[in-house]
């Protein structure tokens, strides 16, 4: 039980649950149901678990350097090597689950979204380009959602832009609480590069743009 609890904490569980709920609601709104919806939820779950676990796996040494006791790998409740198999299993399952849920095109969109998130974990999280995988991953999600409902359904370009904006905003806001810890640990990232005030201003500016896109989408209904 302690192992399972530690695995859930290492998966960034609150963010995982929030993403599953958000995308599930979006899929239901676009009329996804039955087996396709169940496969959709399973695909999103595996994708999010793999991303969260890999993030903690990659950042273990940096988190340890600033004594992040909220991290299971630092607290000692989970060994780093114990994440290898769960990460591999989750990554493998994402592929068939995504394609079964949304067909080849929609499934590929989700697979690429998860791959983009792993690029963030492995290469870009400590650079000023840390926002890019978020923009790409979120931007691909409307196609996954739409194709889960019907292979004839395609998202509007404005919806893709909106999701990309939401991804960058989420990245900035998610980084703010730990910005000083990340700076001390030597982590980079856009928020660390900009600082708290500029990050908030950028998030606010992008939020205004996102609201404009929302108004456009609503007015075009």
| Res 152 pLDDT > 80 | no
pTM to 2 decimals? 0.94
pLDDT band for position 114 (50/70/90)?
Answer: very high
Residue with tokens 């900035």: 172
Catalogue the E-assigned strands of the chain: none
Domain count, the chain: 1
Q: Left if phi > 0, otherwise alpha if psi is -120 to 50, otherwise beta: which for 81?
A: alpha
Count other C-beta atoms under 10 Å from residue 186's C-beta: 12
CA distances from 70 to 8, 67, 138, 166, 219 (A): 12, 9, 27, 27, 45
Condensed to tens digits (0 to 9), the pLDDT of residues 193-206 reads 999 999 999 999 99
- Cα separation, 217 vs 163, in Å, equals 12
Task: Render 91-122 in DSSP notation, one character per residue.
Answer: HHHHHHHHHHHHHHHHHHHHHHHHHHHHHIII
> Which of 106, 110, 113, 165 has its CA nearest to residue 136?
113
> Which of 132, 153, 157 has its CA nearest to residue 144?
153
Residue ranges making up the domain that contains 22: 2-219
Condensed to tens digits (0 to 9), the pLDDT of residues 64-93 reads 887 788 899 998 899 999 999 999 999 999
Answer whether 128's CB lies under 8 Å from 188's CB. yes
pLDDT band for position 156 (50/70/90)?
Answer: very high
Condensed to tens digits (0 to 9), the pLDDT of residues 1-32 reads 788 999 999 999 999 999 999 999 999 998 88
- Cα separation, 49 vs 17, in Å, equals 10
pLDDT at residue 69, rounded to an integer: 84
67, HSE (Cβ side, Cα atoms, 13 Å): 0
pLDDT band for position 187 (50/70/90)?
Answer: confident
Task: Report the chain's terminal Cα–Cα distance, integer Å.
Answer: 49
Answer whether 50's CB lies under 8 Å from 84's CB. no
| Structure-token pair, residue 43 | 């695909």
Higher pLDDT, 221 or 14: 14
| Number of alpha helices (DSSP H) and beta strands (DSSP E) in the chain | 11, 0
Which H helix or E strand runs over 211? helix 196-219
């Amino acid at each position: 039980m302690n192992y399972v609890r530690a695995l859930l904490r290492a998966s960034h569980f609150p963010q995982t649950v929030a993403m599953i709920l958000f995308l599930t609601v979006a899929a239901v709104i676009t009329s996804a149901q039955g087996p396709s919806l169940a496969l959709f939820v399973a695909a999103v779950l595996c994708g999010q678990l793999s991303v969260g676990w890999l993030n903690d796996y990659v950042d273990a040494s940096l988190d340890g350097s600033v004594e992040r006791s909220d991290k299971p790998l630092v607290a000692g409740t989970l060994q780093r090597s114990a994440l290898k198999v769960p990460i591999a299993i989750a990554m493998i399952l994402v592929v068939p689950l995504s394609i079964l849920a949304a067909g080849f095109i929609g499934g590929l969109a989700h697979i690429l979204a998860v791959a983009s998130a792993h690029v963030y974990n492995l290469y870009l999280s400590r650079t000023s380009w840390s926002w890019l995988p978020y923009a790409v991953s979120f931007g691909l999600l409307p196609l996954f959602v739409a194709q889960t409902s019907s292979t004839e359904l395609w998202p509007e370009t404005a919806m893709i832009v909106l999701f990309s904006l939401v991804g960058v905003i989420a990245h900035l806001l998610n980084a703010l609480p730990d910005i000083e810890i990340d700076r001390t640990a030597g982590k980079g990232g856009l928020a660390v590069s900009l600082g708290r005030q500029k990050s908030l201003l950028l998030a606010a500016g992008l939020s205004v743009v996102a609201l404009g896109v929302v108004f456009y989408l609503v007015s075009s209904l």
